[in-house]
Amino acid sequence: MLKFFFTILLLANGVLFAYQQGHLETLMPSGREPARVSNQLNADKIKLIPPPATGARAPAPAAPAVAVAAVAVQKPVEKPAPKSEVAACTEIGNFNREDARLFEAKLAALALGTRVSKRPIREVATHIVYIPPLPDLESAENKTAELRRLGITDYYIIQDNSSMRMGISLGVFRQEEAAREHLVRLSQKGVRSARIGARSVTTSMVAFQLRDLDAQMRDSVNRISATFPKHETRHCEPA
């Protein structure tokens, strides 16, 4: 029995060896070389086509033409900024010596420089606020010292040959109303002996001329001028 199986195994190995060596291709084709080559049909007519060159690129498809409508964008018209109105020349006056000093000090804070100037004015006044004549010059000088202690500096001793000689002038005015208001202010400071009289006097006054002021400067000047209500603001010819 063992001999029979051994014989079968030996035959199977022999058949397998013959198949691997290609001796059985006619009975059992394996598709291996060289039998596969010999079975090809018209092998001599086969042509190899070379692959395309790697550097060449296929032409890109033409992009379709697109008509673009040009849209005109209109920019808004810019309006020029409004120019600041400039006052050519403004005159404020007329100031006596004391008021002129105060007004000028307030203008100095605005740093107007050459835009401000002073103009002397000769003015005829017909009303005088004064202290009646004193016995002599020494008495008049003592009275002026008392006025200085009260904070009053705008005065002078009358020394002409009129009936008011050795009296003390405290201000002259064209209008009686202005003289009365000045008398009230003096009374509030402690002056009790002053009064109003008629006297034609030519006095030296001062007017301030302001040129080329823009709106902001003009507003600042107007606020200062408002603290001197009895002085007028008027137009003047530019220099």
The full DSSP string for 175-233 is SHHHHHHHHHHHHHHT--S-EEEEEEEEEEEEEEEEEEE-HHHHHHHHHHHTTSTTSEE
Cβ count within 10 A of residue 91: 19
Measured at the CA of 121, the angle between CA 120 and CA 122, to 5 degrees, comes to: 130
Q: Give per-residue pLDDT as tens, 114-170.
A: 999 999 988 887 899 999 999 999 999 999 999 999 999 999 999 988 889 999 999
In the sheet where 116-131 sits, what is the strand order? 156-157, 168-173, 116-131, 195-213, 87-95, 232-235
Residue 92 belongs to what H/E stretch? strand 87-95
CA pair distance 140, 136, nearest whole angstrom: 6
pLDDT tens, 65-89?
444 444 445 555 666 555 555 668 9
Query: Mean pLDDT score of the chain, rounded to an integer?
Result: 79
Instruction: State mean pLDDT over 26-47.
Output: 56
Q: What is the pLDDT of residue 200?
A: 81
Distance CA 216, CA 124 (A): 35
pTM for the model stands at: 0.43
Question: What confidence category does residue 21 fall into, taking pLDDT thresholds of 50, 70 and 90?
Answer: low
- What ranges do the domains of the chain cover? 96-235
